[in-house]
Structure formats: structure tokens, C-alpha cells
């Protein structure tokens, strides 16, 4: 059986993590406008799957699209310029982090939840007709899995034997909704019912993701049709940067002081909803925070820390230092170009 190259996988994970941290820093400094969704926690899923990527394969991505694009080899500075809204960015500053697109890399992302499934099916149909052997990868979250367009894509991909790999990154949440509370049955079994292999993997263990993805990709390249990978992973930075729910359980005292007064004011202000209803809403917020807090252990499962255990200390330090320098160089290149435009 083939074995994964752990150093190569860890290098990709480290590059993604440091890139995401660099974006978080720019966002904190007010240089990235709007919401910012990071893929911190998804690195092992992305690295394990995309290690099988070849020239001519396509990527259909969701709102956490920067890690796959880092792995794909898109220029890091042009992505940073893009998320900062600069003309010299990957999409001339018009896409932002949720709508990154690179024709050269056959990769596109969208903030429309679930849209990566039909986009990937289109890529896969083109591959089937024009370049047999090429594969399309669709990445989406568990929250997207109940969207009709995802189910239609699973169906057509199976009926037409499209060379597509569906990758569901299961962090158990869709913003503040627990996926379990709105999902019937098991997502992997659901995909299997469309007539395709479905693999459930621990998405914090890069070597396990790599094995499952290898089977899916081999099947797709051989023209035998799509597969589905359900990979569990933690949502380490909340739904978006500055996620208030995450802040509450990270620094409960400070946040209670901050959000207590406005919440109390809202409760006591001239009522739009009946007091009993507003108490109910408050209860919902409390329950969501408690649930997130209860799932705290998930945050401890850092795919990078797990990956590092598979390496020698020397290799880990060397790989991380190279990845850090690469990202730092991209940040200074982006800032320099941005400075020139000011
Ligand atoms: C069609 C559509 N519906 C709703 C939204 C609002 N929205 C943005 S992200 C998100 C949650 C997505 O959850 P999931 O796919 O599990 O990804 P996660 O954010 O958990 O990684 C929702 C509902 C949207 N962008 N598009």
C-alpha cells in the first residue's frame, strides 16, 4: 500500500495555517474589510485531499477557500492583496475572500453555501468530455449538505459517473445552528444511497484523510465516478473572526462586562417583542454558548499538533520556519505593493 509523505503534508498544513494567521492579523489591523472566515482547523482535510491533486484538476470551493488555494500554489501576495480589496489582487480586488477565482489554477470559490457541488459537477463534466483523467474537487461544510443543489449534484454526478470528489468538512455547526438539529440521518450514508463510495474520516488526522482521498481520486481518474468524503474537523476560530460566541467562552468575564449592558438595555427597552419572547431568545443565546463551551474539547484537537507528532522535532521546526518565512515574505510583498498604491 502506498504511504503518505508526512513531511510534504505537514508543509502544506503549516503554509495554510500561517497564511490564515497572517490574514487574521491583517483583519485585526483593519486592513481587510468585512467578515473574515478562516479555515483554521481544516488544514488536515485540505492537505490530505489535495496531495492527490494534479495539473488539470479543478477546485470548487466555499467561503473558507484560502487554504485550498494556498495548497494549489496560488501566489500568496496576490491573495492577500485581493482580500484587502486592492486592484492588484487575484480578482482585481472585486472578489474578496469569499469569491476567489483563478482561471490559471482552475479554481473558484463562492459564498453561496452549497454552490461548490454543482460548480464541481460542471468542472467534472468538462473534464469527462475534454480531458479524461482529470478530477474536480468540491469542498463544502456540513451546513451545506442539506441544500437541494448539493443533493442534485450528488445524484447527477453518480448518474453520469462524473470524476468528482465531494469533500464535506464536518465541523458540526452552520453559524449558530447545530447541524445535527436540522439533519435527518447520516450524511455519509445519504451520499452512499446515491450509489457512490462514502468515507468517514477523522479530519484532524492528515494521513487518514490522505488514504480515503487516494481511493476517491483513483476511482475518479479511472472514470468510475464520484465519491464522498465526510471529514470531521474543529471550527477553531468560530464562524468568523471576532465571533462573539467564541469570545464569550474564551474570555467570559471580559465579555460579560462588554455585552451585559447592551443586552440588558435591549431586554428593558420599549418592547418590540413580548418580554417572555425576549427571555426565550436570551435563553437560546445562553444555550448556544453553553453548547459551544461543551464542545470546547474539539478546539483542543488541532490538526497541526496532531501532524507534528508524526515528525521528528527537527523536521517540524525546519518545515514551520520555512513556511513562516514564505508567508512573511508574501505579507511584505503585498504591503509594499499596497503602499505603492496609496
Ligand atoms: C445559500 C446560502 N444560504 C445561507 C448563507 C449564509 N451562510 C453563510 S455561511 C453559512 C453556514 C455554512 O455552514 P457550513 O457549510 O457548515 O460551513 P462552515 O461555516 O461551518 O464552515 C450560512 C448559512 C449563504 N451564504 N448562502
Q: Is pLDDT above 90 for 311?
A: yes
For 271, the 3-state DSSP assignment is: coil
CATH topology of domain 6-236+302-341: Rossmann fold (3.40.50)
CA atoms of 75 and 65, how far apart (whole Å): 14
Q: Which protein residue's CA is at the shortest distance from atom 7 of ligand 1? A: 113
* Residues whose CB is less than 8 angstroms from the CB of residue 2 and which lie 6 or more positions away in sequence, other chains included: 214
Quick one: pLDDT band at residue 213, thresholds 50, 70, 90? very high
Ligand 1 in contact with 45 (CB < 6 A)? Answer: no
Which of 1-10, 224-233, 275-284 has the highest average model confidence (pLDDT)?
224-233
Which of 175, 179, 236 maximizes ligand 1 atoms within 8 Å of its Cβ, making it the mutation to test the pocket? Answer: 175
CA atoms of 267 and 280, how far apart (whole Å): 11
The confidence score (pLDDT) of residue 271 equals: 65
- Given a contact cutoff of 8 angstroms between Cβ atoms, the answer to whether 4 and 210 are in contact is yes
- Given a contact cutoff of 8 angstroms between Cβ atoms, the answer to whether 44 and 98 are in contact is no
Q: Is pLDDT above 80 for 257?
A: yes
For 14, the 3-state DSSP assignment is: helix
Q: Say what the pTM is.
A: 0.93
Ligand 1 in contact with 143 (CB < 6 A)? Answer: yes
Quick one: pLDDT band at residue 281, thresholds 50, 70, 90? confident
Stretch 9-32: mean pLDDT, rounded?
A: 97
- Given a contact cutoff of 8 angstroms between Cβ atoms, the answer to whether 18 and 319 are in contact is no
For 167, the 3-state DSSP assignment is: strand
Q: Which atom of ligand 1 is nearest to the CA of 112?
A: 26
Which of 63, 96, 142, 150 maximizes ligand 1 atoms within 8 Å of its Cβ, making it the mutation to test the pocket? Answer: 63
Which among 269, 241, 245 has a CA at the least distance from the CA of 259? 245
- Given a contact cutoff of 8 angstroms between Cβ atoms, the answer to whether 67 and 20 are in contact is yes
CA atoms of 19 and 327, how far apart (whole Å): 6
* Comma-separated ranges of CATH 3.40.50.970 domains in the chain: 6-236+302-341
The confidence score (pLDDT) of residue 304 equals: 96
Helix (H) or strand (E) run with residue 155 in it: helix 148-159
Instruction: Give me the chain's average pLDDT, please.
Output: 93
CA atoms of 177 and 173, how far apart (whole Å): 6
- More confident call, 51 vs 274: 51
Task: Kindly report, residue by residue over 98-143, the tens digit of the pLDDT.
Answer: 999 999 999 999 999 999 999 999 999 999 999 999 999 999 999 9
Quick one: pLDDT band at residue 269, thresholds 50, 70, 90? confident
Ligand 1 in contact with 239 (CB < 6 A)? Answer: yes
Amino acid at each position: 500500500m502506498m504511504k503518505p509523505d508526512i513531511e510534504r503534508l505537514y508543509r502544506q498544513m503549516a503554509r495554510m495555517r500561517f497564511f490564515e494567521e497572517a490574514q487574521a492579523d491583517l483583519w485585526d489591523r483593519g486592513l481587510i474589510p468585512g467578515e473574515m472566515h478562516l479555515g483554521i482547523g481544516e488544514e488536515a482535510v485540505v492537505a490530505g485531499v489535495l496531495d492527490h491533486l494534479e495539473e488539470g484538476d479543478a477546485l470548487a470551493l466555499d467561503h473558507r477557500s484560502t487554504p485550498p488555494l494556498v495548497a494549489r500554489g496560488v501566489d500568496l501576495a496576490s491573495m492577500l492583496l485581493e482580500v484587502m480589496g486592492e486592484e492588484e489582487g487575484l480578482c482585481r480586488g472585486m472578489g474578496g475572500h469569499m469569491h476567489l477565482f483563478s482561471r490559471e489554477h482552475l479554481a473558484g470559490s463562492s459564498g453561496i453555501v452549497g454552490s461548490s457541488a454543482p460548480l464541481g459537477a460542471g468542472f467534472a463534466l468538462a473534464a469527462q468530455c475534454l480531458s479524461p483523467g482529470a478530477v474536480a474537487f468540491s469542498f463544502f461544510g456540513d451546513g451545506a449538505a442539506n441544500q437541494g443543489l448539493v443533493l442534485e449534484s450528488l445524484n447527477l454526478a453518480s448518474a453520469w459517473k462524473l470524476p468528482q470528489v465531494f469533500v464535506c468538512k464536518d465541523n458540526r455547526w452552520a453559524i449558530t445552528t447545530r447541524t445535527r438539529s436540522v439533519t435527518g440521518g447520516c450524511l455519509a450514508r445519504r451520499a452512499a444511497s446515491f450509489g457512490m463510495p462514502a468515507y468517514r474520516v477523522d479530519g484532524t488526522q492528515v494521513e487518514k484523510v490522505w488514504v480515503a482521498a487516494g481511493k476517491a481520486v483513483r476511482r475518479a481518474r479511472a472514470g468510475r465516478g464520484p465519491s464522498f468524503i465526510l471529514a470531521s474537523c474543529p471550527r477553531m476560530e468560530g464562524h468568523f473572526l471576532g465571533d462573539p460566541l467564541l469570545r464569550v467562552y474564551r474570555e467570559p468575564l471580559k465579555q460579560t462586562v462588554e455585552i451585559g449592558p447592551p443586552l440588558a438595555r435591549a431586554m428593558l427597552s420599549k418592547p418590540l417583542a413580548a418580554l417572555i419572547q425576549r427571555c426565550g431568545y436570551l435563553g437560546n443565546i445562553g444555550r448556544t454558548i453553553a453548547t459551544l463551551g461543551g464542545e470546547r474539547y474539539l478546539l483542543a484537537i488541532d490538526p497541526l499538533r496532531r501532524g507534528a507528532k508524526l515528525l521528528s522535532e527537527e523536521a517540524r521546526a525546519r518545515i514551520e520556519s520555512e513556511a513562516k518565512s514564505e508567508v512573511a515574505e508574501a505579507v511584505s510583498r503585498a504591503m509594499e505593493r499596497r503602499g505603492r498604491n496609496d
